[in-house]
Amino acid sequence: MKFFIDTANLEHIKEAQDLGILDGVTTNPSLMAKEGITGKENIMSHYKAICEIVDGDVSAEVIATDLEGMIREGEELAALHEQIVIKLPMIKDGVKACTYFSNKGVKTNVTLVFSPGQAILAAKAGATYVSPFLGRLDDISSDGMGLLSEIRLIYDNYGFNTQILAASIRHTMHVIDCARIGADVMTGPLHSILGLLKHPLTDIGLEKFLADHNKGN
């Protein structure tokens, strides 16, 4: 399973990259705003800065909701850096834009996916990634992991090439459940990745090893 970090925070991206396990980055307009990145020029240069830190795919989301606007913005974003993946919303024009970019060999990530039917449409449109939002479903007492399992089953039935990018990850158990179900990629905040490191027996064991070593020295 590939690990993407879900943030526009450059320090968090650097920290995950330094760990040596980072495969890419996802952003969205809310994550950009959270870092205080506003205005087209600043947003574009922030995407470039992210691409310079990581080696893998960096999802950059269009703001337009009409086909023409999505194509215009998508082309501008794709021209920024070869690592950019165009993030498109799961609406009618988003599906059309996904088909347009897929036919041109430009990578896409279809976002705001909450049902198996939407995931089928994304795959039919040739999306590189489909992003089911697991945490937001859990937030409304729905079953995020259940959706992930259904998409995995459907994609495997037909050998769709679209990679399932499990999004809206909230914590480490989400990451582990994604790996159990077979998500191709998970994208989560830094704490959901660093949380995987933790086990009290590791800390206790290390403390004892060091104490025993020091007895003989």
Give the count of residues interacting with ligand E4P (CB under 6 A): 11
What residues form DSSP beta bridges with 4? 24, 187
Whichever of 60 and 68 has its CB closer to ligand E4P, that residue is 60
Does residue 2 touch ligand E4P according to CB under 6 A? no
- Joined together, the tokens standing for residue 151 give 């998409």
**14 is a catalytic site residue:** no
DSSP state of 92: H
Q: What phi, psi does 114 have (nearest 5°)?
A: -130, 5
- Joined together, the tokens standing for residue 48 give 């470039």
Q: What phi, psi does 9 have (nearest 5°)?
A: -80, 115
Binding positions for ligand E4P, 68-87, rule CB under 6 A: none
Q: Which stretch binds ligand E4P (CB under 6 A): 43-51, 94-102, 130-138, 154-162?
A: 130-138
The residue at minimum Cβ distance from ligand E4P is 168
Whichever of 69 and 135 has its CB closer to ligand E4P, that residue is 135
DSSP state of 90: S
Distance CA 68, CA 62 (A): 11
Does residue 168 touch ligand E4P according to CB under 6 A? yes
The residues binding ligand E4P (CB under 6 A) are 6, 26, 28, 111, 131, 133, 135-136, 167-168, 187
Catalytic residues: 87
